[in-house]
Structure 1
């Protein structure tokens, strides 16, 4: 059993189908089928249940796959560390961003990184914060940048910057008149109870997005059930709709700073008295962080 064999098992698990796995591995289907039969014979138990054309891991298969991922992650870290020791001028870095962050951060940070390390290739993975967490833990990416998640004992975070999540709406929205200055708030404070009292429609991000998690928690803490009129992962669309007085929404300051909208928006602090958020760099705890990852973190920190 070698590293290549482990990667074959993971490919079958990922694709759930021998034909698709063989295609991804540039093998013939009979070759991969024979490999699996020999491996299961060696183990003494089937690693997958065959359900039609689908290959679903058995319990032993799940344990085998989990350990295979650990072993391959350790090999990846070893390769990275050895590469860093030998030279700093080449390599591969896998970085994750939520799509909106990537829109304005990548054009400002990647050219700087490339000018310093022209032989280092960066692969960008855009996804929700929750999926980026999974990718960090399974070793698919080296680090990610997003709003700080709930504590995870297996993920290390470094604070890049502090910002505030704000409630935004059109200046024509009558709720604006209920806002007032409050100590500790960067913007006029608006009590969320007014959203319910005036049956205000709220545009929300999808449940797997970090801002949505924070907003849901905020409503629960204040025992409020919002009138959700739309759910979308498109943050810019949220802002455009709110600027046209189609509901209100919650967006972090940095996103708003990089948006050029046709119509103006009003910003309001919400919470007790506001809702601060840390923007962080995240990576797997107790694992080797490549040299170029630490360098890219520095560039992102300088940008923000």
Structure 2
């Protein structure tokens, strides 16, 4: 038994399919199928049975999966200890991020990390919040750049920064009459309760940007009339700009997405929890490696 074989079993369990697992592992389907057949023959019991939704672990399979996760965790902890012993002269760091966070955070952090620790290999995986939480819980990542709240897991995290949310709508929207200025602020303010009865363009419920939007609406006592749901913040912003509805987004995203029909942006009071908290998440059952600790410190410094 080696760690690669354990990763094979975990991939099959995750994908519920030999072909999909083989694709993720960069091996051929016949080779992976033969591996599983030989392993089950050696153990004298099947590890998976075929169900309506794909391959399902047997009781023996569940125990093998549990053992695989434990052994891989112990092995990775040992690798991290060796990396610490080598005083960060060599090692690797697996970082998870959403595409949006990565686009404005990693360019600030990775170059400095590489200059400081040139022999640490950094690999980056992208996914939405739900995917990143799953990868953290499975110890597939050392750290993940995310926003609170964590929905599906209990994990450790270090808070980096809090960022305000803005409401966005078209320049001829009736909500423009509800805006009021505050001295020294980039954008005017609005009471989000004024948006009751309006149409909304929002992200999908599994996206963190939507979950923060839902929190604002709940605080405002609004059950939104959603005219469009999209996975793209940029798409939502463009539709808001042409008057299709109201949307919400983090303030930093305004610089990422420029629209032909630029919408109006406005802040909301803290009572409505119109913000999200940027954190670096790491698995709760592991010891942080030297590279992971260094990455977190550099990320904090980038936001000072």
Which category of TM-score, normalised to the shorter sequence, fits these structures?
A: 0.7 to 0.9
Determine if contact 1:182/1:273 at 8 Å carries over to the other structure: no
Q: After superposition, what is the alpha-carbon deviation per residue over 1:130-154, rounded to whole angstroms, capped at 9, x for unaligned?
A: 2211111101111111211247773
Distance (whole Å) between structure 2 residues aligned to residue 302 and residue 166 of structure 1: 25
Does the C-alpha gap of structure 1 residues 109 and 227 become closer, same or farther in structure 2, counting only changes over 3 Å? Answer: same
Unaligned runs of 5+ in 2: none
1:63 deviates by 3.5
Q: After superposition, what is the alpha-carbon deviation per residue over 1:37-69, rounded to whole angstroms, capped at 9, x for unaligned?
A: 212x1xxx5321134994311234223313321
Unaligned runs of 5+ in 1: none
The match for 2:237 is 239
Distance (whole Å) between structure 2 residues aligned to residue 202 and residue 270 of structure 1: 20
Which moved further from structure 2: 3-12 or 164-173?
A: 3-12
Distance (whole Å) between structure 2 residues aligned to residue 96 and residue 31 of structure 1: 30
Matched pairs, number: 297
Distance (whole Å) between structure 1 residues aligned to residue 18 and residue 178 of structure 2: 61
Does the C-alpha gap of structure 1 residues 234 and 192 become closer, same or farther in structure 2, counting only changes over 3 Å? Answer: same
What RMSD in Å do the two structures reach over aligned CA positions? 2.9
1:297 deviates by 1.8
Instruction: State yes or no: 1:202 paired with 2:190.
Output: no
- Aligned with residue 37 of structure 2, among 28, 33, 51: 33
* TM-score normalized by the length of structure 2: 0.84
Does the C-alpha gap of structure 1 residues 244 and 31 become closer, same or farther in structure 2, counting only changes over 3 Å? Answer: closer
1:33 deviates by 1.0
Q: After superposition, what is the alpha-carbon deviation per residue over 1:259-302, rounded to whole angstroms, capped at 9, x for unaligned?
A: 44442532231562552321111111241112112222222223
The match for 2:92 is 92
Counterparts of 1:93-242 in structure 2, within 5 Å, are 93-150=93-150, 154-180=154-180, 188-197=188-197, 200-242=198-240
Distance (whole Å) between structure 2 residues aligned to residue 259 and residue 170 of structure 1: 15
Instruction: State yes or no: 1:266 paired with 2:265.
Output: yes
Residue aligned with 2:235, SS: helix
Q: After superposition, what is the alpha-carbon deviation per residue over 1:56-86, rounded to whole angstroms, capped at 9, x for unaligned?
A: 1123422331332122122112112212212
Determine if contact 2:212/2:276 at 8 Å carries over to the other structure: no
Which moved further from structure 2: 81-90 or 59-68?
A: 59-68
Instruction: State yes or no: 1:10 paired with 2:10.
Output: yes
Residue aligned with 2:69, SS: helix
Residue aligned with 1:49, SS: strand
1:14 deviates by 3.3
Q: After superposition, what is the alpha-carbon deviation per residue over 1:160-180, rounded to whole angstroms, capped at 9, x for unaligned?
A: 111112212233322021133
Does the C-alpha gap of structure 1 residues 105 and 288 become closer, same or farther in structure 2, counting only changes over 3 Å? Answer: same
Determine if contact 1:168/1:268 at 8 Å carries over to the other structure: no
Residue aligned with 1:272, SS: helix
Determine if contact 1:17/1:53 at 8 Å carries over to the other structure: no
